[in-house]
Structure 1
């Protein structure tokens, strides 16, 4: 059968695992079974219309009436980057998938991009706008999610590369990005751009080398940054807390194991730090990754037990997703073919799921499901957020999501 594009039109493009060579093969989008349709109709818990209404009011208080209607958003919109190959010409292209998880049928809308997307920064002034960053490259662009197109691009700081992630200030006035000055031993900077024009306004140091992820806390006054450390003979990997207005270092956390490449992070509502680890540049692919946690007021600790599971966390621990209600963090390990679920307070492994090449994992807005992407031929499936059990009948394979991350977003649903 001929591959089919969104809307039923014949298409020569098929989904492909990012960075992997693969034979040409045909792809036919799957349909949801009755069970999948049923749970999409179930009333959402937690992130309800009642909870979303005041959020929308705060975000758009300058409007007499809410400009963006989020009242019927339950689980949210799934965003994920990936790659497709033309089965006739062999040409490849990067795409962004946009999937409304509140729809009965999960039909992705695709946006063609010039680079492999990695990190996401939603515009707090307009939920239809998203900035997407490349990892270790010159790519960064704004996407209009409603229109389904790239609207603007921006270059990195001169002599630097974008290193994967960024964030808007809470009021949207400024856009920050992690960047590395390559010829200066991967010196880390946070570039500052105007949130509307994207004009470069300045920078401040990350107080480390090869920064990757970042997040703002304390109402935007503090930025938390993971610094991978670059090559083995470079600076130590660390997580830094930086005072944004003063551009000063508040705190630097270093790892006991200098072979760790500090990767992705989550700061919980209580102030706990969760950090995924990868192997440092120059180490073999089977070097251990893992995950480190600092419960607020405690010490930064890497989970190493049970040992047989820890040894499966090879190469890199890629994506993290945290459930505030259960205090469970989910982590993917593509090289180890394993997804793990941990209680961050006790360090206890609650469950593990063995699947091929697990990559992105996120939590739906209503805290009901983890959404997981995996396999060389990309598929997406749901995991119950309370039991950490895969949801039967939830798998769908028509979205080319094979990048390192996914993002759950509250945006107006399209008619």
Structure 2
């Protein structure tokens, strides 16, 4: 049975209605007033200067509204619009996820990775909020898996299915509500060796479309053999149903392979031909991809190159480039993008910026209200 398509973003009033007085009561008075006045709410993982980790809720102007501690470094967050909760995933090769309710209806719930598995930092909820899907590593087989968790039963792990590749990273729910797109980075890792990359000479990245209800492979797309060191990592979905993906190159530093591409079911992959100076500035590394369907644009970031680029989703033309030290987190907001950096900066669409120098923002930021 098919589920309904993904719901649109809730607006601030709907978010506050879902969060309710319990959520607002948990905020400091100034943060509560800011929450009531803000037009959007964003969530991101962070580390602070004392070595602590957590999840932060930020306003669209960069004000810290609320913080939730994590046991170790987080990476990305999955948002369940139906029940108003989020799941924060540990950075690879972490073995925890933390589910927290925006209305404070109960304590945060920890999910432990299954034996022989670890998380890759990303997940996605089903449209009805009843299931959570997470990219995982089958350590012994060095193979990608999608772990399936029952949100109606304490997030018990009820199954898994293959990603048809190695090193799965970000996954997306397509607009049909049933198909999952997953980026298989192609890099073999093992917890015994930390984050060491063990197979660069033979890595084989791919992007797969999977039926989340049956686990069946719908389509699998590979890059050409000469680009086998171009690890596909991060993705987002534009208004026309195309997946935009960003890559990280594991070959010689002086090479300049394309780093951004598009694909959708039934069509071949297409790689974006960026101007050489812009491509060179990205330093062979895309850290985050965010689409703004309303504006018809896509943004990509490179913390290695200290810059972000905004692309016309229809023509593929690069519209703007901005230099920001250690920029990585990107989220659509109004007609543009909010960005965060490893220096604690939050750069909103409206201009200006906020800096929380005690915080180092992690790679991703998500609008949740």
Instruction: Check whether TM > 0.5.
Output: yes
The answer as to 2:194 corresponding to 1:238 is: no
* SS of corresponding position for 2:277: helix
Could you say what secondary structure the match of 2:140 adopts? helix
1:230-269 to 2 correspondence within 5 Å? 230=187, 231-234=199-202, 236-256=204-224, 257-269=227-239
CA distance in 2, matches of 1:143, 1:255: 38
- Equivalent in the alignment of 1:380: 346
CA distance in 2, matches of 1:284, 1:150: 47
Provide the rounded CA distance (Å) in 2 between the counterparts of 1:247 and 1:48: 29
Counterpart CA distance in 2 for 1:173 and 1:140 is 16
Q: CA deviation at 1:67?
A: 5.5
Residue 126 of structure 1 aligns to a residue in which SS?
coil
Matched, 1:223 2:187: no
* 1:271 aligned partner: 241
Alpha-carbon distance, 1:188 to partner: 0.6
SS in 2 for 1:356: coil
Q: Paired residues, what number? A: 333
Displacement of 1:110 in angstroms is 1.8
**Runs (5+) with no aligned partner, structure 2:** 1-7, 22-35, 188-198
Q: Deviations over 1:231-263 (max 9, x none)?
A: 324452111011122221111111131111111
Taking structure 1 as reference, are residues 111 and 254 closer, same or farther at Cα in structure 2, changes over 3 Å only?
Answer: same
Query: After alignment, is 193-202 or 149-158 more displaced?
Result: 149-158
Q: Which runs of 5+ in 1 are unaligned?
A: 1-45, 57-65, 87-91, 385-390, 411-415
**Counterparts in 2 of 1:83 and 1:287: CA distance versus 1, 3 Å:** farther
Residue 155 of structure 1 deviates from its aligned partner by 1.4
| Structure 1 residues 114 and 148, CA gap change in structure 2 (3 angstroms) | farther
Question: Of 355, 373, 378, which residue of structure 1 is paired with 2:324?
Answer: 355
Is residue 127 of structure 2 the alignment partner of residue 191 of structure 1? no
- Superposition deviation, residue 317 in structure 1: 0.3
The alignment status of 1:100 with 2:91, answered yes or no, reads no
In structure 2, C-alpha distance between the alignment counterparts of 1:147 and 1:266, rounded to whole Å: 29
Question: 8 Å contact 2:172–2:181 — kept in the other structure?
Answer: yes
Once residues 47 and 203 of structure 1 are traced to their aligned partners in structure 2, the CA distance between those partners, rounded to angstroms, is: 28
What's the TM-score once normalised by structure 1's chain length? 0.72
Pairing partner for 1:178 from 117, 127, 135: 135
User: Structure 1 residues 311-320 or 270-279, which shifts more?
Assistant: 311-320
* 1:81 and 2:40 correspond: no
Whether the 8 Å CA contact 2:19–2:103 is kept in 1: the answer is no
Query: Max radius of gyration: which structure?
Result: 1
Residue number among 281, 301, 321 corresponding to 1:332 in the alignment: 301
Identify the residue that residue 3 of structure 1 maps to in structure 2: none
How far apart in 1 are the matches of 2:53 and 2:253? 25
1:291 lines up with 2:260 in the alignment: yes
TM-score normalized by the length of structure 2: 0.81
Match for residue 404 of structure 1? 363
1:359/1:279 CA distance change after superposition, 3 Å: same
Deviation sequence 1:171-213 (CA, Å, 0-9, x none):
12211100011232x3010011111311111111111111001
Question: Would you say the 8 A contact 2:38–2:59 is kept in 1?
Answer: no
Change (3 A) 1:340 1:101: closer
Contact 2:10-2:81 within 8 A present in 1 as well: no
- Shifted more, 249-258 versus 290-299: the winner is 290-299
Q: Does the aligned pair in 2 maintain the 1:273–1:296 contact within 8 Å?
A: no
1:213 aligns with 2:183: no
Instruction: Determine the C-alpha separation between the residues in 2 that align with 1:73 and 1:240.
Output: 41
Residue 101 of structure 2 corresponds to residue 155 of structure 1: no
| Cα 1:286–1:371 shift into 2, 3 Å | farther
Task: Determine the C-alpha separation between the residues in 2 that align with 1:357 and 1:285.
Answer: 18
Tell me, yes or no, if structure 1 residue 133 matches structure 2 residue 89.
yes
Deviation readout 1:57-102 (Å, 9 max, x if unpaired): xxxxxxxxx76579x797321111111123xxxxx11121112338
Counterparts of 2:290 and 2:49, CA distance in 1: 29
Deviations 1:115-155 (A, max 9, x none): 2111211233321x211111212121112344499611111
Structure 2 counterpart SS, 1:308:
helix
- Offset at residue 291 of structure 1 (A): 1.2
